[in-house]
Each structure stands twice: as C-alpha cells, then as structure tokens.
Amino acid sequence: MSSTIRKSINNPGRNKKLSNKQLVEMIKGKSGVKDLRIISPSDVITAAWVRLKCQFGCGGYGECLVCPPFTPTPRQTRQILDDYHRAILIHFDARAKVKAIVADLEKSIFLRGAWKVFALGSGPCYFCRSCPVESGRCKYPQRARPSMEACGIDVFTTSRKAGFPIEVLQTTGQCPNYYGLILVD
C-alpha cells in the first residue's frame, strides 16, 4: 500500500468535506470581510456583455495576465462554475485587499482538504507594478487571481440575487461595494 493511501486511511479527517459552518468560520474573522453567503454556483450569473465592459471600459484589458483576453470567457466560466457544488460570495469593505484575502482563503481551504477550491477577486491586479504580459508568466501565481468581471461574471446581478447591496456609483464620493467569490466542492 502506498504511503499516500496509508496516510488517507490513518487520517480520514483530511478527506472530509468542509461543512458550510466551517467555511463561514474560516472567512468571517478575516479583516475586511463585511458579510458572506454560501450560494449555488448556478446562482452565479455569467454574460458575454461583461467581458465587453472590460475590453471597452477598463485600461487593464490586455495589460495584465489576470485580465481579458487571458482569462476564461463567460462560456468557459459557466462550465467551470458547473463543476462546483458551492460558491461563497464575500462582501468586502472598500479598503480591503480583495485579491490578497481571497487568495489566502483559497490556500487555507485547500490545506483543509478541498483541493478544487478556486478564488476570484475584484478589480485589477496590484501585485506587480508592471505585469510581465510578454513572457506570459505571472510573478505571483500563488496570489494573483482574476476578478469575477474578468471571467464574465455579472457581479451586479449575482450580488443582488444573493441579497447584497450594489449600485452604480454616481459620484467619486460614493462608497463602492466589493465582492469576491470562492468556489468549493
């Protein structure tokens, strides 16, 4: 018998599925987290128009490896979402470093045995001053995650459907709502 199988047999808790309560406890205490909901991945809305907003409304398009056209298309994202049983939609305060927090949570959840876990942040990447797009190799692959928008997720509809607030900002003085998504099996 291989040592990996023996370890799994001797440590059955390692292969246990994390409960919703355990996931909530892991996330609730993180700095910057306002609230969260565990939702069905089928309630995450994808749409082709979202990618257009990245292409024709954001200066990061094609400038960062976690932005389009380097990210999954809305159709690919839908297929990915359909591979999961749970999604955790997290509402962050305006000062939170969403990409860093979701990457840390992804790692913690992974280390608890959920090997399929994957996190999505919000907004452009901030880990590098200048993204090495030409080389095609991210300097921080363990931390850099695409935003939900970059993958074609309609954050407005998804957030509202989950009962969270989100509005189009009318002035620069308004406080934005930021969200992250963690996919867990």
Total count of domains within the chain:
1
Give the pLDDT confidence score for residue 171 in this predicted structure.
80
The residue among 166 and 40 whose pLDDT is bigger is 40
- Which residues contact residue 27 at a Cβ distance below 8 angstroms, ignoring those fewer than 6 apart? 33, 36, 88, 90, 105, 182
Q: What is the C-alpha radius of gyration for the chain, rounded to an integer number of angstroms?
A: 17
Q: Which domain holds residue 150?
A: 32-184
Q: Is there a contact between 44 and 115 (Cβ–Cβ < 8 Å)?
A: no
| Inside any domain, residue 8 | no
| Inside any domain, residue 13 | no
| Inside any domain, residue 18 | no
Give the pLDDT confidence score for residue 176 in this predicted structure.
84
Give the pLDDT confidence score for residue 170 in this predicted structure.
84
pLDDT by residue (tens digit) across 28-75? 989 999 999 999 999 999 999 999 998 998 888 899 999 999 999 999
Residue 43 amino acid letter: D
| Inside any domain, residue 140 | yes
The residue among 55 and 4 whose pLDDT is bigger is 55
| Inside any domain, residue 9 | no
What gap in Å lies between CA 170 and CA 122, rounded to an integer? 19
| Inside any domain, residue 51 | yes
Give the pLDDT confidence score for residue 67 in this predicted structure.
92
Question: Residue 86: is its pLDDT beyond 90?
Answer: yes
pLDDT by residue (tens digit) across 27-40? 998 999 999 999 99
| Inside any domain, residue 86 | yes
Give the pLDDT confidence score for residue 4 in this predicted structure.
47
Q: How confident is the model at residue 124 (pLDDT cuts 50, 70, 90)?
A: confident
